[in-house]
Amino acid sequence: MIEVRNLNVALGQGRRPVVRDLSFFVGEGEAFGIVGESGCGKTTVLRALAGLISGWSGEIGIAGVARSPRKTKMLPEILQMVFQDPYGSLHPRQSVARALHEAVAIHGLEDGEERIDAALERVGLGPKFRARYPHELSGGERQRVAIARALMLEPRILLLDEPTSALDVSIQAEVVNLLTALRADRNLTYVLVSHDLPLVAHMCGRIAVMREGAVVEELAVENLRAGRVRQPFTRQFLAASRGYAAQPG
């Protein structure tokens, strides 16, 4: 579903390298995780996949379609992105129904009302939330609305940018369980970016570890849990992850 080869991204006036020679693939229905310290380029990778930045070099293929380095919309019926801050990604003056209807209006779909109700049911909210505004929702409910909006066009791929980092610990598990169930039910393909190693290890089968814009190691989650890692940085990142206990291999 996703193939990235030798991706390089430079940003800012000085064209500072942010992502360097990055390559990975993600199969259909797979959950692939990218972890690393803040500022290592994780979110930039997602933004390149989503078509939100331009000027990158290398190759990106989405569901067999080659992506252009120009800043263009990226096949919204195939790929959608869920952002880190659910409050910031929703318009404060738009009701939930209007936020979800936006995708329907842009793409000229005729079954908009049915899609809105189905999307809200899918994320465990229901039609009673249609008239509510972002400030009337909890953090977990906002993120559920953001996920519902991403599902409106029934995409095959979701890009997840730190989807639980802005949520209280007490409701993080609810959103993780929702995302896990949605992938199983709809055979969705995920790319999950996070600095939260336990979260990524729980949701993903394979993990890429990034440092300063490059992947230093890619490994199966079973090897991560057993502590079977090759690179010193991966071992340090593992040790620094709070609450994560790996068995020595």
Convert the pLDDT of each residue in 38-58 to its tens digit: 899 999 999 999 988 888 999
pLDDT band at 30 (very low <50, low <70, confident <90, very high): very high
What is the SS3 assignment for 94-115? CCHHHHHHHHHHHCCCCCHHHH
pLDDT band at 14 (very low <50, low <70, confident <90, very high): confident
Angle at 195 between CA 17 and CA 133, to 5 degrees: 100
Task: Count the neighbouring beta carbons within 10 Å of the beta carbon of residue 69.
Answer: 16
- Residue 213 is predicted with a pLDDT of 95
Q: Are 91 and 172 in contact (CB under 8 A)?
A: no
Helices (H) and strands (E) counted in the chain, each on its own, are 8, 10
Convert the pLDDT of each residue in 89-129 to its tens digit: 888 899 999 999 988 888 888 788 999 999 999 999 989 99
Overall size of the chain counted in residues:
249
Q: Is the dihedral of CA 157, 161, 166, 170 positive or negative?
A: positive
Average pLDDT, the chain: 90
Instruction: Report the run of H or E that residue 66 belongs to, with start and end.
Output: strand 65-66
- Name which of 133, 170, 145, 156 is nearest 2 in CA terms: 156
Considering only 154-158, 194-198, 202-206, 220-224, which range has the smallest mean pLDDT? 194-198
Specify the DSSP class assigned to residue 27: -
The pTM for the full model equals: 0.91
